[in-house]
Amino acid sequence: MGLRVSVIGMGKLGSCMAAAFARAGAEVFGVDVDPDVIAAVNAGRAPVAEPGLEAAILASAGRLHATTDTPEAVAQTDITFVIVPTPSEPNGAFGLDLVADAFRLVGRGLRARSSYHVVVLTSTVLPGSTRAALVPLLEAESGKRCGRDFGVCYSPAFIALGSVLRDFLNPDVVLLGESDERAGTRLEECYRTTFENEPPYRRMSIENAELTKLALNTFVTMKISFANMIADLCERLPGGDVDVVTGALGFDRRVGPHYLRGGLGYGGPCFPRDNVALAYLARALETSAPVAEATDRFNRALPERTVERLRGLLHPGCVVAVLGLAYKPGTPVVEESPGVDLALAVVAAGARVVAYDPLAGPSARAEFGDRVQVMASLGEALHAADVVLIATPDPAFLRVTDEDLPKDRELVVVDYWRLLAERLAGRPGVRYIAGGRSMDDPLNAARLVRLWAAATGLEPEAVTGVLAV
């Protein structure tokens, strides 16, 4: 008999993992509390919108089944993955109520098992959660002992919405926190028969794996914020260009090019909360995480700082169009979205705001209420606007045409991602401003003159002459 897998929680990640295991040849039982999810999976349809998911379900050749019965699914399988929400609490910690409920049900399923079973937690949790809070629930409900009758692993997935299946199947690294060697080996074998690439496996204690998950996302967000800091500096230097600077930085192997692009900050369901959680953990352990705290403060301050830079463009009665409302292109998710936060900050500054996103319009309407009008098309948003703010690097915005641009007035376009630089820079009727690049060379040169005249004691005219050379 081949590998038999149960997946508890059929959201975007869980459903993609279940389909991937089934496509690779495992018999898979997906569990969810939503009967519509169960019906969709059993009918061969994707229960959530993710590229490639429905094709993977169809390619599973009937090996993917869905049910609401967690104990029964666990009893029929060899390895169980738990992927349920761990919502953030006000203090920054991750709530364990839902995952604890799932573990209790998994424990009841383990009671009926006569052979060794592996339980894998994939949901994001604080270090110590798995061993101290969750393993005891499995032992209490099953009457069995971890490390003897069953094993537990903590193994998070590093994915982005809109590319969940691809990211899961092609990880850069696999974190594998294990209660015992047998559990880790069983999980690694499962992954090796499923993944499309050959990633490095890092096997470690459960607590080290839990910490590594938070540390990795915190490091990535620090890198994003660093690039945004450089973008701000480049806007204030004559000839400054963030892409030139970060492009050179990325060649250094100590830095690398990934996530080093000046833009409008990070958002989504993972990055912001992992930073906050790491800072909470540090306080709970009687220390501090000032880098994580500074990264979070810097990112949350970007909308107001951005609006402050725009004040010269926001004349009374002007209409501002914000393009890009999802937290990233290719998804309808607006959780912690920089574009949504920017739109609301512009409203607070007194301007009328319209907005457009190719996928996130309905989600954003629910977020905005009547404060922002979400338009049905890119052309409608542009025709309504005096100032356009491009908040995400969505390829859909590259499809702008002459018909989309107003003909009766100059349109100011502030492009924080330099997405339309080749298309709009120098175009008649458009004043194009690229974020992260010098907007006013004479003004920026004057800043340097003041700096170095004060630092050297030279007359400003002398410094000006040197800078001119």
pLDDT in tens, 231-257: 999 999 999 999 999 999 999 999 999
| Alpha carbon distance 218, 295 (integer Å) | 8
Instruction: Examine the pLDDT at 24 and tell me if it is beyond 80.
Output: yes
For residue 270, indicate whether it is catalytic: yes
Those residues whose C-beta lies under 8 Å from the C-beta of residue 252, and which sit 6 or more positions away, are: none
| Alpha carbon distance 4, 118 (integer Å) | 11
Question: What pLDDT does residue 466 have?
Answer: 58
Quickly state the pLDDT bin for 456 (edges 50, 70, 90).
confident
Per cent of the chain over pLDDT 70 is 99
| Alpha carbon distance 323, 318 (integer Å) | 16
Instruction: Examine the pLDDT at 464 and tell me if it is beyond 80.
Output: no
Q: What is the CA radius of gyration of the chain?
A: 26
Quickly state the pLDDT bin for 296 (edges 50, 70, 90).
very high
Beta strand pairing status for 373-374 and 352-356? parallel
Q: Which amino acid is at 11?
A: G
Residue whose C-alpha is closest to residue 371's, from 393, 398, 343: 343
Question: What pLDDT does residue 468 have?
Answer: 54
Question: What pLDDT does residue 458 have?
Answer: 78
Question: What pLDDT does residue 228 have?
Answer: 97
E strands, 228-370, where?
Answer: 319-323, 352-356
In the predicted model, what is the mean pLDDT of residues 48-57?
95
Q: Quick one: tokens of 174?
A: 């696999």
Question: What pLDDT does residue 392 have?
Answer: 97
Instruction: Examine the pLDDT at 469 and tell me if it is beyond 50.
Output: no
CA dihedral 427, 430, 435, 438 (to 10 degrees): 70
Residue whose C-alpha is closest to residue 242's, from 257, 258, 261, 265: 261
In the predicted model, what is the mean pLDDT of residues 424-437?
94
Instruction: Examine the pLDDT at 110 and tell me if it is beyond 50.
Output: yes
Phi first, then psi: give them for residue 296, nearest 5 degrees.
-65, -45
Condensed to tens digits (0 to 9), the pLDDT of residues 354-363 reads: 999 999 999 9
Beta strand pairing status for 150-154 and 174-178? antiparallel
Query: Rounded to two decimals, what is the model's pTM?
Result: 0.92
Instruction: Return the exposure string of 76-93: e unless at least 16 CB atoms fall within 10 Å of the residue's CB, then b.
Output: bbbbbbbbbebebeeebb
Q: Which amino acid is at 415?
A: D
Quickly state the pLDDT bin for 465 (edges 50, 70, 90).
low
Those residues whose C-beta lies under 8 Å from the C-beta of residue 287, and which sit 6 or more positions away, are: none
Those residues whose C-beta lies under 8 Å from the C-beta of residue 132, and which sit 6 or more positions away, are: none
Q: Quick one: tokens of 144?
A: 């069995």
Question: What pLDDT does residue 182 have?
Answer: 97
Residues facing residue 118 across a β-bridge: 79, 151
Question: What pLDDT does residue 118 have?
Answer: 98
Among residues 16, 190, 270, 318, which one is catalytic?
Answer: 270
| Alpha carbon distance 116, 109 (integer Å) | 12
Quickly state the pLDDT bin for 341 (edges 50, 70, 90).
very high
Lowest mean pLDDT among 140-144, 325-329, 437-441: 437-441
In the predicted model, what is the mean pLDDT of residues 155-184?
96
In the predicted model, what is the mean pLDDT of residues 64-77?
97
Instruction: Examine the pLDDT at 198 and tell me if it is beyond 80.
Output: yes
Lowest mean pLDDT among 145-159, 182-196, 399-413: 399-413
Lowest mean pLDDT among 1-5, 41-45, 200-204, 367-371: 1-5
> Are the beta carbons of 5 and 78 closer than 8 angstroms?
yes
Higher pLDDT pick, 279 / 455 = 279
Average pLDDT, the chain: 95
In the predicted model, what is the mean pLDDT of residues 4-12?
97
